[in-house]
Each structure stands twice: as C-alpha cells, then as structure tokens.
Amino acid sequence: MNQTALITGASGGIGADLASLAAQDGCNLVLVARSQDKLEQLAGELQQKHGIRALPFACDLANPESPRQVFDFCQKEHLSIDMLINNAGFGAYGAFTELPWETQRDEMQVNMCTLVALTWLFLPGMLERAAGKILNVASVAAFLPGPFFNIYYATKAFVLSFSEALSEETRGSGVTVTCLCPGPTKTDFFHRAKTTEFNSIFMPMHSSDQVARTGYAAMLRGRPLVVPGSANKLSTGLMRFVPRSLLRRISARINRI
C-alpha cells in the first residue's frame, strides 16, 4: 500500500518540490495551501506523471481552526498520514512597531501554532502504528536574532527547538522528526515579505529544488537536523562562538535594506 504524505505550503516553492519528490517515491499526497487553483494544477500534474493520488485541500493556515479542518478532511478520506511535512510559513519585513499587528499575529499562527497543532493531531496515529516521519521547515534564521524580521526569526527558533525536543521524545518509537533549516532560497518569500531585495554578500541563494532534495533525504534517513549548503553549515556552526551582541549587529546589517 502506498504511503501518504501531507504537505503544507504545497502550492509553490519548497513545498511543491517536496510534493514532487514524495510523488516520485510513489506516495499519495494531501496538498494544503490557500490557492485552490494552484493546488488542483499541481495535483493533476503529479497524478498524471506518477500515477499517485493527490488531494488538494485549500484553507488559510492563519485560521486557528485550520489544523482541525485538515485533520478532519483526512479522516473523512480515510487517510493515514505517514509523512507530515510542515512547510508553510512566511515572514514580514519591517520594524516591529511599524508592521500591522494582524500581520504579525498571522505570522506566529502559521509558522508556529498551526505547525504544532498539526503535529499534535497526526503524531498519535504515527506512534500507534510505530511508523512515521515528520519534517518541519525552519530556517538558518533560527540560529540568531533578526532585527527587521524579528517575528520571523523568533518563530523559526521556536520550530527548531520544538523539533529537536520532539525528535528526542520520539526516539526509538518508529517515528522520526527532522528540522530543515535552509538559508536564502529562490521562492516568493521576499515578495510576500514586501521586500524584493536580499543582501547576498553574506549568504548564497539556493534553489527550492536543492533545498527540498536535501530536506527530503534527511527526513527519509531520520536525521534530527539538516542545514543545506556548505556556506550555511559553516555560518550556523560559527554562530555558536560569536557573542550575541555581535550576532545582533550582523543580522541587522544583513536585513537592513
């Protein structure tokens, strides 16, 4: 029987590439994002190309009720989720006091609360079956404070800490938890963040396909943490030896556009 992967933020970028990789492995898919049209198009393409079943489910993950809606949809379709890929997330650029509260609230809801709620809903079934894989997409932003992207960086630090802790909790259970921490990636992230520029002097830009392949392979191996790209690995390693006061200034330099 084919396994089933649930992927949030699946309508484009890293999420769509992760969906493609899972489909290549013969996994059936539940594709979750806001855009019904994009999800239906991707589902059709993957079904035709790989002969799998792909179900689109459009919802706004900023809605606190959305995790239960996703779970109920899977229950209605009699689906056991073998791979939960929490990829959905966004960032908002600007000074904390100048950004609308509603935007920052939604950012925390999507990046943290929805991710945790989906994990809480689907993990018990995996533990009962003694099999399952969870991939949570964080960022290299998780390793340092982020002036002008402060909520985004803070949420990704939460995802990293939550994922590593849960990985240890589930050790030996048959379920693995992997945290993917990519650096800057060629997606629509910066457009949605309302900044079209990035100071690439400090970190190289990777393709979403490269990031997805690295994260997917690490999830299959059950690795707790993966940072794609040698420069990103080096940067996150060096951060442990840099004073926090200096990290704050470096981060502000990177983000100040």
Q: Which domain does 152 fall in, by range?
A: 4-255
pTM (two decimals): 0.89
Number of domains within the chain:
1
Per the annotation, the verdict on 152 as an active-site residue is yes
pLDDT of residue 67: 98
What does the block give as tokens for 62?
């900023």
Most distant CA pair in the chain, distance: 53
CA-based nearest residue to 84, from 115, 40, 58, 63: 115
Q: What CATH number does residue 233 fall under? A: 3.40.50.720
Dihedral pair phi/psi, residue 73, rounded to 5°: -60, -45
pLDDT along the chain (257 residues), means of 10: 94 97 98 97 98 98 98 98 98 95 98 98 98 97 92 97 98 98 73 49 74 98 93 75 72 70
Bridge-partner residues for 8, per DSSP?
A: 32
Catalytic residue among 93, 152, 153, 216: 152
Q: What is the pLDDT of residue 201?
A: 45
What sign has the CA pseudo-torsion 161, 165, 167, 168? positive
Which of 108, 107, 114 has the alpha carbon at shortest distance from 69? Answer: 114
Helix, strand, coil percentages for the chain (3-state, nearest 5): 50, 15, 35
